[in-house]
Structure 1
């Protein structure tokens, strides 16, 4: 009998499980993890494993919520006031029971946060992926052990992806297989903003012209720049959409032409954008923004908006250098916005030609090819282990 064929480690994988360990909650903002995991669910059984929540429960439990075919969100629910070491132990036990409950022949561990290593040491994955979408250690309130755990993750990962070119340059020397996958775009979704639509109810009473932003409002958003620019352009309305996190909402600037509309669903964004005249990205230039590659850059462009941004490195190199986005600093921001309002959307053919090479479908397809290659590279090691046994 052919011993190679009979060996279960070497037989074709018919059922594939992908567990995604994320620092971002599924229902927070629909962005890179959601785009990729939604597409992964066409090939894998996908579990989006969130960080724990703490409720008055007696014992740790898993809250499981299906969100699409072959895709569920899993949230560990732990008792209040557990010591850190007990939290990690409880998380490990919950993860072990989860993996055992899902029939699979291959397991892919997909990390967005190195912090998950604190409870995944015993996980026996076939392929390990680190999708480094941000430099998390530079964010406000970052755990002190994050950088140490990231180094461990580099040692464990078979393949590393980065969310932009700046991150690629920063991480490429840490692992032999690092690949840049900058922010991509669901073009059809944001093209909806180019068609005239009725304003959402909370935007209807806001006058024109409108300068708009959507995204997370945190330490990366330059609230001082927002205040100064709005004061310098009293006839222009500044509309901002998104949740406020890690900063005190009371510190947000207020004024007759400043409008904070709160968080909106991903499906709603084109309807708001359709009523804007310019998209802008008033990012602070600090450690937290040094390596970002904002997904909203191609999304604004796909929506038919002229775009003005501060000098974020990936935006400058990818879009500013091609004349697709206007780059401005605090002193030149009012003039840049005035010019963008006057010019309008400009050469959309040039924008569309550039965006035609970008899609989340293409990004996932390329990533999946690298996952297959990573699995093949692991097989010789598996064979040696089996032969030894």
Structure 2
């Protein structure tokens, strides 16, 4: 048992316990993402109010966004949904996209009222200390509204580069959130470097992985799904959303250059995939349950991370990178700093010719012994280890550094030991005062 206010527990001594955590994130149904893994672990010893917040992005005039809006309205009127004995989801109804003035204040008060109602209905008001964790960059208006002991900004993307997000509004909203957060967690080196000059208490914690789950791919005689069982020849795999950041044209070009290989792509498509449908050796599997992914990995001889190379790329730290490695797979990726850290098990290549050549080379590094070795390198990168690290950072007193004068410091904590010091002083006293604005 750790002695800091009883925030540890006997089984997982490093994890936060006996708190009510309000988690502002994307839809629960969009998982599993880093937020899902982190909150599931924290729910073992805390009460979690998961706020499915969709108002950061302005919807477009298309069928997909219309369905999404209808879903938000339905779930808002449905009320809270219990996800597990310790987790409840609430979907607040608000005004999507950046809004200011009277409309902005109405939106903020409406969202706040719905979250407070969920707290009351879950009998969470005042029963335990409250923490506010947000993965959304533009919800500073929530800080200080729940008497919370900590405000945590968990930054996993540079949202200003996302399609459908207003870059200026996101940057303004994020600056306001940084002024009110007690601790900032970043998931990639580039995100850390971006946020550290703006806050006194910034940390780098890279994503974890469910090693035991994906290591099932290494079991002798692992069952192969029907889709890949019928394929003859080596299979290269991908799983995750086919979204605007995935280079669909690159996949199609590589597939045409390697007709002897099969490319199995698992995940829902949220971008134009017409180029892939013309390739006979590209197989679109659609969404598959998380539980089935190890079986697909067992049938793959290599895996790919075909992300577009643009301003968004340096900030990416894909969860699937470690999941591929935990399954023992060699990985071919377009150039991105977080992937390059895992060379030679991850080979980066730019352009269709180089990427195709790297795929052929990866297949040659897929022996069972190599896969076992690769999987074991992930043993220290579990989600449990990451959440213990997060807990120490959140519950430490580093948040008070700005209150006592002197030079502000942001601690760069990488699981594994690397540490650096950058940053600047912030007046943190303002974080305790509720703020409702028109932005």
SS in 2 for 1:290: helix
Question: 1:164 is matched with which residue?
Answer: 188
Corresponding residue pairs, total: 368
Shift of 1:12: 7.3
In structure 1, distance between residues paired with 2:316 and 2:393 = 23
Q: Which has the higher contact order (CA 8 A, sep 6+)?
A: 2
> Structure 1: any 5+ residue segments left out of the alignment?
1-10
Give the Cα–Cα distance (whole angstroms) in 2 for the partners of residues 165 and 376 of structure 1. Answer: 21
Query: Against the structure 1 CA distance between its residues 54 and 375, is the aligned structure 2 distance closer, same or farther, given a 3 Å change threshold?
Result: farther
**TM, length-normalised to structure 2:** 0.76
For residue 368 of structure 1, report the CA deviation from its aligned partner.
0.9
Partner of 1:201: 226
Which residue of structure 2 aligns with residue 344 of structure 1? 366
Give the aligned partner of residue 192 of structure 1: 216
What do residues 267-307 of structure 1 show as CA deviations (whole Å, max 9, x unaligned)? 11111111111111111111222211111111111112111
Task: Determine the C-alpha separation between the residues in 1 that align with 2:163 and 2:263.
Answer: 26
Name the CA shift for 1:351/1:168 in 2 (closer, same or farther; >3 Å): same
Larger deviation, residues 225-234 vs 297-306: 297-306
Partner of 2:23: 20
CA distance in 1, matches of 2:187, 2:112: 28
1:302 lines up with 2:308 in the alignment? no
List alignment gaps of at least 5 residues for structure 2: 8-16, 55-68, 405-427, 433-439
Structure 2 distance, partners of 1:354, 1:268, is 22
CA separation of 1:117/1:308 partners in 2, compared to 1, >3 Å: closer, same or farther? same
Q: Do residues 220 (structure 1) and 245 (structure 2) align?
A: yes
The residue correspondences of 1:40-55 to structure 2 (distance < 5 A) are: 40-51=42-53, 54=70
CA contact (8 A) 1:61 1:78 kept: no
Taking a change above 3 Å as real, the CA distance of residues 344 and 58 of structure 1, as seen in their structure-2 partners, is closer
Counterpart CA distance in 1 for 2:72 and 2:335 is 46
Distance 1:216 1:374, change over 3 A: farther
Structure 1 residues 89-98 or 303-312, which shifts more?
A: 89-98
**Matched residue of 2:22: which SS?**
strand
Please state if 1:363 is matched with 2:372.
no
Deviation at 1:29, TM superposition (A): 2.7
Secondary structure at 2:154's aligned position in 1? Answer: strand
**1:212-260 Cα deviation digits (max 9, x unpaired):** 0011111211111111100000110011011222x23445453110111
Cα deviation, residue 40, structure 1: 0.7
Structure 1 length as normaliser, TM-score?
0.85
Secondary structure of the residue that 1:296 maps to in structure 2?
helix
* Range with bigger deviation, 337-346 or 357-366: 337-346
Describe the SS at the equivalent of 1:193.
helix
